[in-house]
């Protein structure tokens, strides 16, 4: 079954005052200036312990770390410390599929109650299967979607191509993902400005020719298209595997030019960094940090580790993180480029 993108594209948006970005994931120039002036983090990416139903051949999260996983109490403590620092958003990336955690909805509600925006990255398979939804959360799929909406979460849905069973290596996945997208659209996640719905699009050789189509569809439906070239982590930390799965830097540069043209056709103009093709700068690089599933705090998911939340406060770890970013990248830190991808040769150096 193919998701009928053309049919959805004919839907009219009720509010035409569009803002390019997604709530909790992209920030204004004013936010960046304040973060730089006051040395506060804007956002934190988190890989919470969990499971996964899929076996994506490029996966950089699931089963990567060995050691004692973060407990719920430790996770909540980190969220509280992050809010106390003045952070604006927490993005739940994994490990695996966050909605397989029975406590994920209360954790997202906790984030929101702390005055921080929760952003959920999801494969969508739980939101597409009432059987899974009932088994894990004792709710229907629509019930979970309503909960996410009422909590005030932003949802970033895995969408790498129309039929991506071969990418996740699981038959029937795309059908579930499509049902999830239908539910999220019906609930109005894309009726906000900035939107509360995005596509998480990992850029691969396998979907390179489809990215522009998905990007354009997203633009017309107020869905933020987060196109992410492979990170040098997990299975693709090996350069030989990276070359096997990733388009070459020149191909990515050509794609960036094409996506910028599509974006500017919609009247969206800004200097384009190389972190996310066609998108906004990386705010983890500028004013954020990453926490893995065993509590390590890193500059970003593919960069230096500065310590562990079991040994130091998050405030101390953020100070270390910020100082290392300044020393390592200087003023270039605030451009929002992805330095690990440039260093690994995944992206061309813009210099």
Contact 177, 126 (CB under 8 A): no
Q: What is the mean pLDDT of residues 322-350?
A: 94
pLDDT number for residue 57 = 87
- Strands 224-229, 197-203: parallel, antiparallel or unpaired by DSSP? parallel
pLDDT band at 351 (very low <50, low <70, confident <90, very high): low
Q: What is the mean pLDDT of residues 179-200?
A: 98
> Which run of H or of E encompasses 250?
helix 249-265
Q: What is the mean pLDDT of residues 295-311?
A: 97
Checking if the pLDDT of 87 tops 60, the result is yes
In this structure, what are the phi and psi dihedrals at residue 224, rounded to the nearest 5 degrees? Answer: -75, 125
What's the CA gap between 244 and 203, in Å, rounded? Answer: 13
Contact 211, 160 (CB under 8 A): no
Q: At what angle do helices 314-329 and 72-84 cross, to 10 degrees?
A: 60
pLDDT number for residue 2 = 37
pTM above 0.85, yes or no: yes
Checking if the pLDDT of 14 tops 70, the result is no
Q: In angstroms, what is the C-alpha Rg of the chain? A: 19
pLDDT number for residue 17 = 57
pLDDT number for residue 271 = 79
7 or 82: whose pLDDT is higher?
82
Q: How far is CA 245 from the centre of its chain?
A: 20
Segments of 204-324 assigned E as strands = 224-229, 288-291, 296-298, 305-308
Q: What is the mean pLDDT of residues 90-106?
A: 95
Instruction: Find all residues with CB under 8 Å of 135, minimum gap 6, and list them.
Output: none
DSSP 8-state secondary structure symbol assigned to residue 235: G
pLDDT number for residue 3 = 45
pLDDT number for residue 281 = 93
Q: What is the mean pLDDT of residues 23-40?
A: 96
The domains found in the chain, sorted by start residue, are 5-343 (3.20.20.70)
Question: Sign of dihedral through CA atoms 169, 175, 176, 177?
Answer: positive
Q: What is the mean pLDDT of the chain?
A: 93
pLDDT digits (tens, 9 = 90+) for 232-280: 998 888 899 999 999 999 999 999 999 999 999 999 998 777 889 999 9
pLDDT number for residue 272 = 74
pLDDT band at 95 (very low <50, low <70, confident <90, very high): confident
DSSP code per residue over 109-160: HHHHHTT-EEEEEE-SHHHH-HHHHHHHHSS-HHHHHHHHHHHT-EEEEE-S
Instruction: Find all residues with CB under 8 Å of 94, minimum gap 6, and list them.
Output: 47, 48, 50, 52, 61, 62, 121, 293
What's the CA gap between 28 and 86, in Å, rounded? Answer: 16
Q: What is the mean pLDDT of residues 328-348?
A: 93
pLDDT digits (tens, 9 = 90+) for 118-159: 999 999 999 999 999 999 999 999 999 999 999 999 999 999
pLDDT number for residue 60 = 77
């Amino acid at each position: 079954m193919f998701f009928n993108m053309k049919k959805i594209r004919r839907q009219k948006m009720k509010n035409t005052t569009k803002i390019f970005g997604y709530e909790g994931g992209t920030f204004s120039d004013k936010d960046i200036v304040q973060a730089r002036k006051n040395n506060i983090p804007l956002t934190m990416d988190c890989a919470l312990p969990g499971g996964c139903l899929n076996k994506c051949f490029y996966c950089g999260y699931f089963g990567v770390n060995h050691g004692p996983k973060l407990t719920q109490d430790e996770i909540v403590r980190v969220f509280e410390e992050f809010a106390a620092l003045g952070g604006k958003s927490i993005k739940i990336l994994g490990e695996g599929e966050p909605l397989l955690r029975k406590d994920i909805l209360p954790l997202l509600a906790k984030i929101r109650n702390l005055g921080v925006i929760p952003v959920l990255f999801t494969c969508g398979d739980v939101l597409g299967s009432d059987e899974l939804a009932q088994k894990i959360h004792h709710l229907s799929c629509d019930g979970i979607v309503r909960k996410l909406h009422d909590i005030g979460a932003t949802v970033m849905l895995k969408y790498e191509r129309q039929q991506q069973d071969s990418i996740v290596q699981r038959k029937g996945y795309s059908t579930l993902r499509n049902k999830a997208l239908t539910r999220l659209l019906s609930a109005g996640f894309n009726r906000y400005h900035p939107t509360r719905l995005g596509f998480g699009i990992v850029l691969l050789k396998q979907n390179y020719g489809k990215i522009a189509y998905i990007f354009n569809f997203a633009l017309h439906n107020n869905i933020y298209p987060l196109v992410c070239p492979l990170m040098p982590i997990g299975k693709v930390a090996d350069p030989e595997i990276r070359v096997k799965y990733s388009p070459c830097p020149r191909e990515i540069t050509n794609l960036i030019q094409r996506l910028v043209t599509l974006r500017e056709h919609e009247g969206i103009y800004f200097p384009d960094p190389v972190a996310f093709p066609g998108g906004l700068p990386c705010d983890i690089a500028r004013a954020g940090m990453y926490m893995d599933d065993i509590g390590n705090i890193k500059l970003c998911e593919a960069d230096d580790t500065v310590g562990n939340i079991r040994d130091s406060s998050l405030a101390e770890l953020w100070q270390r993180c910020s100082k290392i970013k300044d020393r390592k990248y200087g003023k270039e830190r605030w451009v929002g480029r992805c330095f690990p991808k440039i260093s690994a040769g995944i992206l061309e150096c813009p210099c």
